[in-house]
Amino acid sequence: MPLKDLLAEADVISLHCPLMKDTYHIIDEESISQMKKGVYIVNTSRGGLIDAGALIDGLLSKKIAGVGLDVYEEEEGIFYEDCSNKIIRDENLARLTTFPNVILTSHMGFFTKEAMHSIAQVTLENATAVEKGEELANEVK
């Protein structure tokens, strides 16, 4: 289905794509304008897929009914940190936390029992392969 048609018809848009030149801010002012009113957006992929300013405008206009974000474009230094005694200097992030229809989690969508088991298993397999001098099946060169 062409993206334009998907945007116009979808009740829920869930992002599951890598962040690349072609997907950077795939959700922006233009794409939001093509969405049906009352759409829900979920992003557990990469923060840079969504233009936060455009997202806020979409929430304010009620074009977007709700948002679930496990990632945020400018999350470095915020997620995985105890910021309870700090002022959030990112205006978009601060604003997003004020919406009752926005759920924001700290990049933990992968944090399931199954995912942790898989990560541990692959790590041990890699360590064993290195110890035996074998080729690594998932080596990045």
Q: Residues with catalytic annotation?
A: 46, 75, 107
DSSP code per residue over 56-89: HHHHHTTSEEEEEES--TT-TTTTTS--TTS---
CA distance 54 to 32: 8
CA distance 84 to 54: 27
Residue 117 identity: H
